[in-house]
Amino acid sequence: MTSSSNQTPKPILVRKYGGSSLASVDRIKSIANDIHTKHSSGFRLVIVVSAMGQTTNELAALANEVSPTPSRRELDMLLSVGERITMSLLSMALDDLGCPSISFTGSQCGVITDSSHTEAEIIEVKGDRVREALNKDQVVVVAGFQGVSLEKEITPLGRGGSDLTAVAIAAALGADRCEILKDVDGVFTADPNQVSTANLHDTLSYEELEQIAGTGCGVVHSRAVNHARKHSVQLFVGSSFHNSSGTIISPANFKSETTNCPENTPYKPLAITLTDGISLLECTIQNQGNSSELLDKFSSCIQCNVPLQEWVDFDSNHISWNLLADASVLETINDKISDLLIKEGVHHTHSSELSCLSLAGRPPLNWVDTSRKIITIIEDNDIADYRIICSDTNLRILLNPAEAVTMLPIIHDNFF
């Protein structure tokens, strides 16, 4: 048993291991060793796992070989298998080390979600079986990325959703800390595999990590950070390969009430992220006084819960409506709205295969100086074809893929 009534209970630690940390049998065995050591040093442990390596992508490809349009329900049944493979293998490896453990699926842990079959929202984490197992001093291994709806269907938490599983379980158990362990040493100013001069952030506030995660850099899922902030879960992002000081995210790291950079201080972004496979859809139509009606029609067509940047420019003559998103997302939207665009006589251009460099951090009062600086850097490198898009939260630079790779370290080193 973990404690008698007059002993302080052992701290609860929730750890999440990503797919690349669990990509082989050797990695699973090595992580089992680390978990065993941690458990022996006096922790109650919940281990949330992702699917091994590229398993989720491979399962999705397998589904597409069987059917070009698999039903969403059956696809979710299939994809949820990836994490179940890892959880059971890890639990077996722990048993072999003499470390008591048990694995559970999301539904066995009582991760209750709405009935969305793309990116389900967690309604509640019951966690009864997790608590019972912890009380028996077992290491609990949980399949990430999946829950169960009130209709008892298996639901996915969206790509990269195991981070959310870990944070939600940590919140439900009142865990002392939630660790997201990865193949990098923590949260950097850029992906250290792409930019050798990238710096590690020792500490970040939830808001700052949300800004970074919002660029799609994948270091931690943005919904997980959001959940951690709402429930004050102490987060740590570090390496699964070796001991690293990592990045600590906690309410204590909150730095300032202001949301913008103070006046007269240069813009200091927190991170720059390169995203490939971006598409831009630009639609322009003459403003004939029916603009809001038209925009309503457009937006009801694209109502879907996907990461998308949308902006509208009006003047007395024209309305332009722009959408920036992952190519596959924009493909789907394009399919939905192309009839409407043709019917309404909307002039539209769809540019695909773009790459995007996104700067995240507390935005400046205006983007003029920053944009000017970026334009100079880009043009000094003889790049003529680029586009800068500023929003109230971040700045994005659209480039062709090869030029984005060239510009990433150059822009990074000019700002960090």
Whichever of 2 and 275 has its CB closer to Mg ion, that residue is: 275
Q: What is the DSSP string of 214-265?
A: TTT--SS-HHHHHHHHHTT--EEEEESSS----EEE-GGG---S-SSPPTTS
CA distance 359 to 271: 6
Q: Which stretch binds ligand ASP (CB under 6 A): 88-96, 153-161, 301-309, 383-391?
A: 153-161
Residues 81-120 that bind ligand ASP (CB under 6 A): 82
List Cβ neighbours of 280 (8 Å cut-off, separation of 6 or more).
322, 323, 324, 330, 350, 351, 354, 387, 398
Q: Which amino acid is at 41?
A: S
* Contacted by 161, from Mg ion, ligand ASP, none: CB < 5 to 8 Å by type: ligand ASP
Q: Choosing among Mg ion, ligand ASP, none, which partner's interface includes residue 178 (Cβ < 5 to 8 Å by kind)?
A: none
Q: Is 147 in the site for ligand ASP (CB under 6 A)?
A: no
Candidate list 10, 38, 159, 297; residue touching ligand ASP; CB under 6 A? 159
Q: Is there a contact between 179 and 13 (Cβ–Cβ < 8 Å)? A: yes
Q: Does 19 bind Mg ion (CB under 5 A)?
A: yes
- Cα angle 49, 186, 234 (rounded to 5 degrees) comes to 70
Give bridge partners of residue 283 from the DSSP assignment: 321, 348
187 within 8 A of 247, measured Cβ to Cβ: yes
Q: Which is nearer to Mg ion, 51 or 397 (CB)?
A: 51
**Looking at 92-100, 109-117, 133-141, 159-167, which segment touches ligand ASP (CB under 6 A)?**
159-167
Selected binder of ligand ASP within 53, 110, 147, 161 (CB under 6 A): 161
Q: How far is the CB of 71 from ligand ASP (least distance, A)?
A: 19
Residues in 26-85 that interact with Mg ion by CB under 5 A: 50
- Of the pair 17, 386, the CB lying nearest ligand ASP is at 17
Using CB atoms within 10 Å of the CB of residue 300, give its burial: 0 to 12 exposed, 13 to 18 middle, 19+ buried. exposed
Chosen residue from 107, 155, 162, 355 binding ligand ASP by CB under 6 A? 162
51 binds ligand ASP (CB under 6 A): yes
Residue nearest to ligand ASP according to CB distances in the complex: 162
Rounded (5°) CA angle 380-381-383: 105
Residue 159 binding: pick among Mg ion, ligand ASP, none (C-beta 5-8 Å cut-off by kind): ligand ASP
H or E segment and range at residue 155: strand 154-156
Q: Closest separation between CB of residue 365 and ligand ASP, Å?
A: 37
Nearest to 183 by CA among 50, 20, 64: 20
Q: Is 50 a residue that touches ligand ASP (CB under 6 A)?
A: yes
Sole binder of ligand ASP in the list 17, 43, 104, 145 (CB under 6 A): 145
CB-based contacts of 393: which residues, under 8 Å, 6+ apart?
211, 214, 360, 363
- In order, the DSSP letters of 31-70 are HHHHHHHHHHTT-EEEEEE--STTHHHHHHHHHHHH-SS-
By CB under 5 A, what part of segment 192-251 binds Mg ion? none
Q: Which two tokens stand for residue 19?
A: 């797919």
Q: How far is the CB of 162 from ligand ASP (least distance, A)?
A: 3
Q: For residue 269, state whether it binds ligand ASP (rule: CB under 6 A).
A: no
Which CB sits closer to ligand ASP, 193 or 381? 193
Q: Is 225 in the site for ligand ASP (CB under 6 A)?
A: no
- The interaxial angle of helices 206-213 and 222-230, nearest 10 deg, is 160
Residue 101 binds which one of ligand ASP, Mg ion, none, with CB within 5 to 8 A depending on kind? none
Type and span of the H or E element at 177 = strand 177-182
Q: Which does 127 bind (CB under 5 to 8 A by kind): ligand ASP, Mg ion, none?
A: none
Binding residues for ligand ASP, rule: CB under 6 A, are: 19, 50-51, 56, 82, 144-145, 159-162
